[in-house]
């Protein structure tokens, strides 16, 4: 593997500023991830946590999914106040979700090892938080890969008739999963790795199995040798430990919302859009009722709480809600803003490895950390990668393309290439004609302004008509050149299909199963070994 690095091609203004430590961003993050960490490590190690209870819950969970001796040894360290966690999390996507799920995990492992070298007075353990409280099934029910015809394929599972509003943790895999093996068999050329890869990825995903545990089991299979600890936050014991924090959020909801709203406004005033839209009167909590449905809890001006079902709103007092929680299987769950607070009230989190969207919402969460008096961990960017296979590299060199230009994700890239690097004669003539038309119309407008201003409006309509027809003619020329350059266009399309599938970044679309079928299950280990420590650039991995 050969790696080339350059600035992130898709960085938002907030992410760019975060990676460059711009002055605008500093007030939203207590610790710059590039600086010395001793202060935050000391604060997190001294913060009071239910270490023993969390350790017992994680050991129980991990033994049930067949965790490695390395993982169990890491869990055993949790009772030591000098043990700190490097955490990431992700929704439980099918067959491991998009590639960036693996990249986040690799970043956690790299950072854990780096911190252990830099701060040997602490023990650091890698932790993956299973984000399975979410009920957005469309986010996790599918898989993308490039087939042997170089076409992007999508497999998906239907939502159960009675599963709407249920968190992913409460859902079971449908029987349609049985069709996936045959489809994947047909869509890939045979390789020596194909059978083992399909067994690994689909072995965990069986009909009626939990989506959450299938996902956890797959990550456990890939990263067991590294001691990765997986945490399912829907565990009754962990939710019970979180009740005091949740109860405080309910009791002090107006004050909590005011702090969050003020911080969100400050983020917007600094020039960054809010990643989490403040919802007036929200409590940052969901109520999961006795049937498993998850609904948002709002507070009302009269002191009651509103349970927001799609077709009705149930208004209850705080006492009535507590009684229902105590007497039934109903429970409270955190929303996207409260989830990190739950995490860092249970785990000794030194750092959270975050994707671009997560970094943006952590900018809004500082006020909540201060309100609950929880030391905020370091927010550490995940690795960002694009994997380029050998045949693609040959065509990229043939066309003298560079990766920053390719990954700029221009929707008109092929036209751009033909205009700038293909047969220039027609394009130059077209460009010159367009300029002459513009100049002639501008000269005519100046004359009309003096001679008869009433003709300016008809002139503008004429200009618009000319522009429209000229653009259509320009497109016909592009199509004509594309036809003449059909082979080149097909090769360019293949490059784009692999590096920017569905006009999105590869790491956000493709599944790791694609690369494991072609290159073996140890591809993940080899990629991890080759990965640089740097996270402030995008890495192109040439195979």
Alpha-carbon span 153 to 509, nearest angstrom: 11
Average pLDDT over residues 392-403: 93
pLDDT digit string, tens, across residues 220-258: 999 999 999 999 999 999 999 999 999 999 999 999 999
Alpha-carbon span 103 to 371, nearest angstrom: 32
User: HEC states along 184-243?
Assistant: HHHHCCCCCCHHHHHHHHHHCCCCCCEHHHHHHHHHHHHHHHHCCEEECCCCHHHHHHHH
- Say if residue 137 is in the same domain as residue 244: no
pLDDT digit string, tens, across residues 352-375: 999 999 999 999 999 999 999 999
pLDDT at 419: 74
pLDDT band at 331 (very low <50, low <70, confident <90, very high): very high
pLDDT band at 480 (very low <50, low <70, confident <90, very high): confident
Q: Are strands 123-131 and 229-231 parallel, antiparallel or unpaired?
A: parallel
Q: Which domain holds residue 282?
A: 239-258+272-334
Tell me how far CA of residue 45 lies from CA of 82, 307, 533, in angstroms: 6, 37, 25
pLDDT at 306: 97
- Say if residue 280 is in the same domain as residue 401: no
- Say if residue 213 is in the same domain as residue 307: no
pLDDT at 477: 81
pLDDT at 486: 82
- Say if residue 412 is in the same domain as residue 430: yes
First to last CA, the chain: 5
Could you give the percent of the chain with pLDDT greater than 70? 99
- Say if residue 417 is in the same domain as residue 485: yes
Decide: 145 and 510 in contact? Cβ < 8 Å: yes
- Say if residue 153 is in the same domain as residue 204: yes
pLDDT digit string, tens, across residues 57-84: 999 999 999 999 999 999 999 999 999 9
- Say if residue 324 is in the same domain as residue 347: no
- Say if residue 368 is in the same domain as residue 468: no
The pLDDT mean for the chain works out to 94
Quick one: DSSP state of residue 377? P
Q: What total number of domains does the chain contain? A: 3
pLDDT digit string, tens, across residues 312-325: 999 999 999 999 99
Alpha helices in 309-412 (DSSP H): 318-327, 339-346, 356-362, 366-372, 390-398, 403-406
Q: What are residue 91's DSSP bridge partners?
A: 131
- Say if residue 217 is in the same domain as residue 307: no
Query: In sequence order, what are the residues at sequence separation of 6 or more whose Cβ sits closer than 8 angstroms to the Cβ of residue 335?
Result: 282, 284, 285, 286, 296
- Say if residue 346 is in the same domain as residue 209: yes
Per-residue pLDDT at 409 exceeds 90: no
pLDDT band at 9 (very low <50, low <70, confident <90, very high): confident
Strands of the 349-354 sheet, one edge to the other: 229-231, 123-131, 83-91, 349-354, 378-381
Decide: 360 and 272 in contact? Cβ < 8 Å: yes
- Say if residue 497 is in the same domain as residue 508: no
pLDDT at 424: 65
- Say if residue 147 is in the same domain as residue 185: yes
Least confident of 6-15, 219-228, 389-398: 6-15
pLDDT at 426: 73
């Amino acid at each position: 593997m050969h790696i080339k690095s350059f600035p992130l091609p898709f960085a938002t203004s907030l992410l760019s500023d975060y990676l460059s430590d711009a002055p605008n961003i500093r007030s939203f993050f207590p610790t710059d991830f590039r600086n010395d960490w001793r202060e935050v490590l000391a604060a997190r190690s001294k913060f009071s946590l239910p270490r023993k209870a969390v350790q017992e819950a994680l050991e129980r969970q991990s033994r049930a999914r067949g965790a490695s001796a390395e993982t169990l040894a890491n869990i055993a360290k949790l009772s030591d106040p000098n043990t700190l966690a490097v955490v990431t999390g992700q929704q439980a996507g099918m067959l491991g979700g998009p590639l960036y799920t693996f990249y986040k995990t690799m970043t956690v492992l790299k950072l854990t090892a780096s911190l252990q070298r830099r701060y040997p007075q602490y023990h650091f353990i890698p932790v993956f938080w299973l984000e399975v409280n979410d009920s957005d099934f469309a986010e996790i029910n599918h898989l993308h890969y490039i087939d042997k015809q170089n076409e992007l394929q999508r497999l998906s599972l239907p939502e159960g008739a009675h599963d709407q509003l249920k968190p992913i943790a409460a859902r079971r895999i449908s029987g349609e999963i049985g069709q996936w093996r045959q489809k994947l068999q047909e869509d890939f050329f045979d390789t020596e790795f194909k059978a083992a890869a399909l067994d690994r990825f689909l072995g965990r995903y069986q009909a009626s199995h939990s989506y959450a545990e299938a996902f956890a089991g797959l990550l456990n299979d890939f990263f067991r040798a590294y001691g990765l600890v997986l945490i399912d936050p829907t565990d009754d014991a962990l939710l019970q430990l979180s009740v005091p924090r949740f109860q405080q959020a309910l009791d002090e909801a107006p004050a909590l919302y005011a702090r969050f709203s003020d911080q969100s406004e400050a983020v917007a005033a600094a020039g960054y859009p809010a990643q989490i839209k403040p919802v007036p009167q929200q409590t940052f909590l969901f109520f999961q009722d006795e049937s498993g449905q998850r609904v948002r809890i709002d507070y009302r001006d009269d002191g009651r709480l509103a349970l927001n079902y799609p077709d009705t709103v149930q208004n209850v007092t705080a006492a009535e809600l507590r009684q229902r929680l105590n007497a039934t299987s109903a429970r409270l769950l955190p929303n996207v803003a409260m989830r990190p607070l739950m995490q860092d009230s249970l785990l000794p989190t030194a750092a959270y490895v975050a994707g671009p969207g997560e970094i943006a919402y952590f900018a809004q969460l500082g006020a909540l950390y201060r309100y609950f008096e929880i030391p905020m961990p370091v927010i550490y960017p995940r690795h960002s990668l694009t994997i380029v296979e050998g045949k693609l590299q040959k065509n990229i060199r043939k066309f003298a393309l560079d990766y920053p230009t390719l990954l700029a994700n221009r929707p008109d890239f092929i036209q751009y290439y033909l205009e700038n690097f293909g047969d220039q004669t027609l394009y130059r003539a077209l460009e010159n004609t367009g300029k002459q038309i513009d100049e002639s119309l501008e000269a005519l407008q100046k004359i009309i302004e003096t001679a008869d201003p009433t003709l300016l409006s008809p002139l503008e309509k004429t200009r618009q008509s000319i522009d429209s027809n000229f653009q259509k003619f320009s497109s016909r020329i592009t199509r004509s050149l594309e036809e003449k350059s059909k082979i080149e266009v097909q090769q360019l399309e293949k490059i784009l299909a692999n590096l920017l599938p569905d006009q999105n970044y590869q790491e956000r679309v493709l599944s790791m199963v694609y690369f494991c079928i072609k290159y073996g299950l140890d591809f993940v280990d080899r990629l991890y070994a080759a990965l640089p420590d740097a996270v402030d650039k995008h890495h192109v991995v040439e195979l």
